[in-house]
Amino acid sequence: MATSLIVPTLDREERFDSREYYLRVKRKFFVTLAAATIWGMLLHPVLTGQRDPVLGWLLLFLAVVVGLAVFRNERVHSGLTIVAWALFLASVVGFGLQYGG
């Protein structure tokens, strides 16, 4: 869902500026990603009756995604993007280790 916001429709006649496009759609993309994260956090307890095992990671990820939606500073964006990927990797590894993977 969020990815459909970042894939541009290209016209061969028109010059494409990826930086300008990113700055134009980033807020919609990160708000959609935040909404999907919240939905996932709420869905797990409903389906399993248990607390999400990676809830802590998801809350950190949500904070970073909200920051990416709010802040316009390019350096802040670069830093938060690296943090978001690091959190994603850490949550995947942590989840795998928790379940003996």
Label residues 40-79 b or e (16+ Cβ within 10 Å = b): ebeebeeeeeeebebeebbebbbebbbbbbeeeeeeebee
8 Å CB contact between 63 and 96:
no
The closest of 8, 57, 14 to 29, measured between CA atoms, is: 8
pLDDT of residue 63: 94
Extract the tokens encoding 9: 């429709």
Q: Which of 92, 89, 34, 94 is nearest to 64 (CA)?
A: 34
Walk along the chain (101 residues) in steps of 10 and give the mean pLDDT of each run: 61 75 85 91 90 84 92 89 86 75 55
Residues 6+ apart with CB under 8 A from 7: none
Q: What is d(CA 25, CA 21) in angstroms, rounded to the nearest whole number?
A: 6
Output the pLDDT for position 7: 66
